Structures are given as C-alpha cells and as structure tokens.
Amino acid sequence: MTVARRDIVKSDITHTFAVAIVTLLVGVPPAAAETPKIGDPPEASNMRLVGFNDLQGRSAYQPTIHHQGDRWIAYIGHHGGTDAVPKPINPLSGQPEFNGTSIVDVTDPTHPLYLRHLPGQEGNYEAGGAQMTRVCDGKDLPKGDPSAVYLLRTFGGMAHEIWNVADPANPKLIIRLEGLKDTHKSWWECDTGIAFLVSGVPTWRVRRMTEVYDLSDPAKPIKIREFGLPGQEPGSTGSVPTELHGMISIGPAGNRVYFGYGTNKGGILQIVDRDKLINGPKGPTPDNLRYPVIGQMEMSPLNGAHTTFPLGKLTIPNFSKDKFASQRDIVMIVDESLVNECQAGEARQMVWFVDATVETRPMVVASYSVQEENENFCERGGRFGAHSSNESMAPIFYRKLAFVTWFNAGVRAIDVRDPYHPKEVGYFIPSITAATDKRCIKANGQDVCKVAIQSNNVETDDRGYIYVVDRANTGLHILEVTGSARAIAGPH
Amino acid sequence: MKPATGLKICGVAALLLVVLSSLRLADPAPVEQAHAIWIETKWPFLMDQWGEGKSFQCKAAECGSELNLHIRAKVGFCSTATGIADDDELERLSDFDFMNGRAIALSRGHEIDVAGMKGRIRAYETVNSVHSPTYAVSVAFNNNSDALVATVVFNGGSPAAMEPVIIQFLNGRTIQRWVSLTLGL
C-alpha cells in the first residue's frame, strides 16, 4: 500500500524552467519530458491519496462500493487481459485466472484488503473479463432473500450473472442470463428490482441495446421488454442509429430513465418515462420504441454519451432572484475518449451540462474540459479525455461535487453547484507503477509506446471516499478531497 | 495408361477449363479491370462525426458504368476480436447516408480481403422519389479496431460485375497509401 502524506502540486514555473533546461541541454522536446516515470509522485490538487490496492495488475472498469452490514466492500469489474498477460496469476489461489471481478474490503480505506477474484470470460481487452458491477441487498429488493447480497455483473459480452455475495470472500452463482453478443454499463434499482441491462440481443442490429428485467427476485428473472432507438430493432433497414452506452434511472418517484448513446461520436441523450417504458406496449416496433420517450437531444456528432448523470433540480445562482425558472433540471453528460495521444479520428471528449428543465427540448448550457495547454497531456501517453463520472447520489457529494475520470489526466473534481459555470476544484493523477501497461500509437509504421496512468472509472461512497480504477493495470486508488473541495462537500 | 489416352484427357480437361472459364466470365460480365481509371474528386458530403474521407470516380467508358467511390476511416469503431463478422456489423459501419435513397439489400454480403485486411461487402438497390433506381455497394475492412468503410454508388450495370474492379481499386497503391497515412501503419 502507498499513502501520500501530503498533496503534491506541480509548480508551473518550476516545470517550465526544468523543461527549458532539458531542451537546451539535450534537445528533448518538452512533450517527451512529460512522459511519466516510475517513482514520480502523484500530481494532486485538493485531493489526497488514502489507500491503494494493485487489483492483481488487472485492467479495471466499474467500481461499485457497497455498505454491507458493518463493512464496506468494493466490487470492481475488469476488462479482459492483455496480449502480454492474458490470464494473470491470482496470488490468493496461485492460479492463472481470466480477468473478472475483484472483491476488496475497503472498510479501512487506508488498508484495502483483497478478498476474492471472481474470474470472468476468456478474452483480452474488451473481448473478455467482466466489466460491470451493481450490488443490491436482498432486504431491499421486493422479493429478495433478506440474508443475501446480490452482485449483478457482466460476463464478458456473452452474459449477465447474479451472485450471492453475502460472504464476499465466497460468492455463490445464482443465475446467468446468456446468449448475448455484448454487454456493458447496466443499472439496477435496488428498491424495485427493475434492471436496465445493456445487452446485445442477437436479432437487434446493434451490439448494445436495452433489456428491461424485473430482478426483484434475482433467482427468478422476468424479462419485461427490449428497447433501443428506432432503426436498431430487428427487421429495420438503412442507417443504424448510434448504439447504447448506458443509462441511469431515478426510480419510480422521479419516473425518469436517462439513456446515453454513443461513446466518442454521435452522442444522444434520451429522457424516458420510466413507467411507460416498463408498462407500455412492448413489441420492438418503431412506434413502441418512441412511446416512452419524452425528450431526445442529439449532441454534436463529434462527441458521445458515456454517462448521463441526472443532477436533478438545482437553483442557478445567477437566476436566484428570477420569479420564473430559477431552478433548472440538469443532466451531466460525460463523453468517452477512445484514441491515444489525441490522434486522428476523434475530437476532444469532455463533459457537458444539459438544461433539461423543459424535457422535450434539452439544451447544452455549459461544458468542462481539462486544460491541455501547458500540461502536454496529448503527449504523455495513452488516452486523454473524459470517460466516466461517479454515479452515487449519496448526499455527501451529490449536486455539489462531481468526479470525472480523464485517463492520463487522472480524476478531476468539478464544482457543479452552478452547472451553468462548472469549475474544476481538484484533481489527482496517480503515479505509474511497474504494473502500469504501455499504450502505443503508430508513427511511420512503427509502434511508439509510452507508459501512462489511464484512470478509467470512479465511484464514491457515503463516507466521502473516492475510488478511482485504472485501465492500464495500475490498480485502485482511494482518495479524499481536501482544502476548498472538502469545504464544498461539507462535513464528512 | 497409353500416352495418347493421357493426351486426349489433358486436351478435354483444357477444353473444359476454357469453357468453364468463359461461362464464369459470362455471368456476370466483368468490367475490364485493366482499363479502370479512377480520378480523385471533391468530397461531396457535409461534415459529420467521422470527418471527411476520399472520393474517386471511374467513368462509364472505363468501368462500364460511372462509379463514385467514397472511403473513410472509422477509427476505433470496430471490434478487434470479431472484426466485420457478419452483415449486421457491416451495416453498423456502413455509410447509408452516402447512398442515393433508401437502401434495399440485394443479397447477403460476403467476405473479402483487401491488402491482407479481412472485411465484408454487400450490394444494395437504392430507391428515392427523384432518381431512378440506382445501386450501391458497401465495403468495410478493418485493421484491429479501426475500420475502413467504402461506399460505391452507380446507376447501371450489375453490382456483382462491379465488385472485382472495386476490390482491385481498394487493393491498389492509391488507396493503400492513403490507408497507411490515415491509420499510421
């Protein structure tokens, strides 16, 4: 475990001076001097490292942090292995295992305890592993076993699985929903059991669409319907609309599900009436697919919609004296960058704030992006751009601070209290380790590779800890906010 | 076997080969590939998420029908694991907006190989209220997660007859140099 004792903030002046000296002496361009090295300290502002676990050197996607009795357990989904190490060794069993789910006790965040690795599907990178995790207590689900804790995870692209993780060190498989051509970032309502699964039903024209399930009794899943954009359904022809990435439901009380389509291109935010989606006509016809849709916003085709995180109604400071519409209904959209080192084929992927007060006419009102200028993120190696935000709606951060992973720029803390003027208030870029995998681009037909942090997904818990996981095998970093960022969050 | 008998068998086999070859050539009549001259033209489409690519035209005199080919890269849009495995994946990648109207597939697609890259091709008839029916061919092939997608639109001739000349052009130096430059190969 590595613990940072203090924040380390880079000095621009020192940095610029050092780069100039290096350039003068050895002719190394400034960009090359930015490539991280093992032993470099983390870069941070208003965020501090609390604890670390290497996650057995596995590439990580979604962390879900669950308060389980008197313990806090992190369930972390993994991508498949790499060409170099397709089946990493699990030190607990001594056996090589395909990447799956890491189960880590984070009750003491300074000493995360790795409990169990649950293998996933064979295959490297996106072709294998078990990227997604959601967790519900049986006592919260309408027909769940009160003694059970249920992990819903993907099994590569071929299936969704439900495990009983009441004893997180000894999970028991309950059921597998298989026969799919892909899976991804699903959502599960613990109070109703309704699950919105990102699936690839073979008859559909896209790899990813929605299957709505009633998982109120996880042992007896009931499929409610299939859903997607008109033109994706079986039998349709012509252009195939942008495929689904994920969704977030605010449950029966809010009666909305926010769907995000697209990754780094052709993004669409879709605001859907949850009740009509679940109880409306179900056959996958264009009319039935349109029926529950309240509003739909097509983004610039240069950006996608990885995460569509509803922030709810916020009073806009500048509108506070207005007698009409001083509160606005805001959705934060996070794009996903796919391309290394800002190369061709992709525009900058970032964060967009959408005013959806009039749900039929949502509109982007602000954006946030990490400043590349003077920091040379485009040359540091790997991807630079947005990927994913925390999705916890726990009061400690919700509607105040949002955390967004930015690959080689680590995780960024954004003050969203005024979503018309979002402001960065902190960041943390973890140090690379010997486990951090390289990322390459082609130059003159040759692979040019660099080793860089690739902060992939982030989640927060009710206590105020921030969990950042790395796509380039570096592991899990547990953080907390400090300084002015902590003041925004309020008392922990 | 007597030498004379062997010669007779060889002669019949050679005759059969010629007849079969001519039958294959007759249906459909292929374009004389050696005469195909492709001229680069201006990219005719509005900017979208994939940006601009390259456009080329082969006149009817050289290709039997005027062929308009548009090709561009879709970086990171293809599955490294499965490539362009079936028509669903081809259609997910295809630029239907470049075709002159609603596209109706003429048959199932089939596998192709372009400069060592695996891919798939499928032919369509396109209909709209302005133009008489035209044809379009969608071709996609991939290098790891990067896809190259070509759309070829033409008014006459048979898509099957046009396929060899299209594939030959995609395999040629002009396109392969552009692919190398675009994907940094």
Find out whether A338 and A346 touch, Cβ atoms under 8 Å: yes
Lowest mean pLDDT among A242-246, A282-286, A442-446, B104-108: A442-446
Cross-strand pairs, A214: A194, A222
pLDDT value of position B23: 37
Work out the pLDDT band at B139, boundaries 50, 70, 90: very high
As a 3-state breakdown, chain B gives helix, strand, coil percent values, each rounded to 5, of 35, 30, 35
pLDDT single digits (tens) A364-423: 999 999 999 999 999 999 999 999 999 999 999 999 999 999 999 999 999 999 999 999
State what percent of residues in chain A have pLDDT above 70: 93
CA–CA min distance A301, chain B (Å): 5
Handedness of CA A198, A247, A123, B95 (dihedral sign): positive
Cross-strand pairs, A481: A47
Contact A237 B102 (CB under 8 A): yes
How far, in Å, CA of A436 to CA of A469, rounded? 12
pLDDT value of position B156: 83
Work out the pLDDT band at B29, boundaries 50, 70, 90: very low
Find out whether A463 and A492 touch, Cβ atoms under 8 Å: yes
**CA nearest to B125 within chain A:** A238
pLDDT value of position B15: 46
Find out whether B123 and B46 touch, Cβ atoms under 8 Å: no
The CA–CA distances, whole Å, from A14 to A11, A431, A485 equal 5, 19, 25
Cross-strand pairs, B103: B126
Find out whether A42 and A409 touch, Cβ atoms under 8 Å: no
Rounded to a whole number, what is the distance in angstroms from the first to the last CA of chain A?
Answer: 24
- Which residues touch A246 (CB under 8 Å, ≥6 apart)? A184, A185, A186, A187, A198, A259, A260, A306, A307, A308
Of B48, B75, B81, the CB nearest to A346: B75
A-chain residues near B82 (CB < 8 A) = 127
B80 in contact with chain A, both atoms CB, cutoff 8 A: yes
Lowest mean pLDDT among A22-31, A428-437, B71-80: A22-31
Higher pLDDT, A120 or A21: A120
- H or E stretch including B61? helix B60-63
How far, in Å, CA of B104 to CA of B124, rounded? 5
A125 in contact with chain B, both atoms CB, cutoff 8 A: yes
How far, in Å, CA of A281 to CA of A487, rounded? 48
| Residue of A101, A100, A99 lying closest to A168 (CA atoms) | A101
Contact B103 A238 (CB under 8 A): yes
Of B75, B80, B104, the CB nearest to A344: B75
Burial, A175: exposed, middle or buried (Cβ in 10 Å; 0-12, 13-18, 19+)?
A: middle
- H or E stretch including A394? none
pLDDT value of position A20: 40
Gyration radius from chain B CA atoms: 19
A237 in contact with chain B, both atoms CB, cutoff 8 A: yes
State what percent of residues in chain A have pLDDT above 90: 89
Cross-strand pairs, A188: A195
Checking if the pLDDT of A10 tops 80, the result is no
Checking if the pLDDT of A18 tops 50, the result is no
- H or E stretch including B9? helix B3-26
Work out the pLDDT band at A428, boundaries 50, 70, 90: very high
pLDDT value of position B131: 66
* A293-298 and A307-315 beta bridge pairing: unpaired
How far, in Å, CA of A110 to CA of A1, rounded? 8
Cross-strand pairs, A66: A73
Greatest mean pLDDT among A22-26, A126-130, A306-310 lies in: A306-310
CA–CA min distance A265, chain B (Å): 6
pLDDT value of position A443: 84
The CA–CA distances, whole Å, from A57 to A27, A115, A433, A480 equal 35, 15, 10, 23
B127 in contact with chain A, both atoms CB, cutoff 8 A: no
**CA nearest to A348 within chain B:** B49
**HSE value, Cβ hemisphere, 13 Å, CA-based, for A364:** 18
Work out the pLDDT band at B34, boundaries 50, 70, 90: low
pLDDT single digits (tens) A116-162: 999 999 999 988 999 999 999 999 999 999 999 999 999 999 999 99
Q: What is the mean pLDDT of residues A53-57?
A: 98
B76 in contact with chain A, both atoms CB, cutoff 8 A: yes
How far, in Å, CA of B7 to CA of B20, rounded? 20
> What's the residue count for chain B?
185
B116 in contact with chain A, both atoms CB, cutoff 8 A: no
- Average pLDDT over all residues of chain A: 93
Find the angle CA(A205)-CA(A211)-CA(A216) to the nearest 5 degrees.
170
What type of residue is A252? P
A235 in contact with chain B, both atoms CB, cutoff 8 A: no
Contact A345 B51 (CB under 8 A): yes
Q: Which residue has the tokens 């007779």?
A: B8
pLDDT value of position B8: 52
> What's the residue count for chain A?
492
**pTM of the predicted model as reported, rounded to 2 decimal places:** 0.86
CA–CA min distance A444, chain B (Å): 6
Contact B96 A302 (CB under 8 A): no
Is the preceding peptide bond at B28 cis, omega within 30 degrees of 0?
yes
pLDDT single digits (tens) A164-194: 999 999 999 999 999 999 999 999 999 999 9
pLDDT value of position B26: 36
pLDDT single digits (tens) B79-136: 888 899 999 999 999 999 999 788 999 999 999 999 999 999 999 999 877 766 789 9
The CA–CA distances, whole Å, from B103 to A140, A187, B53, B97, B123 equal 50, 36, 21, 9, 9
A-chain residues near B96 (CB < 8 A) = 238-239
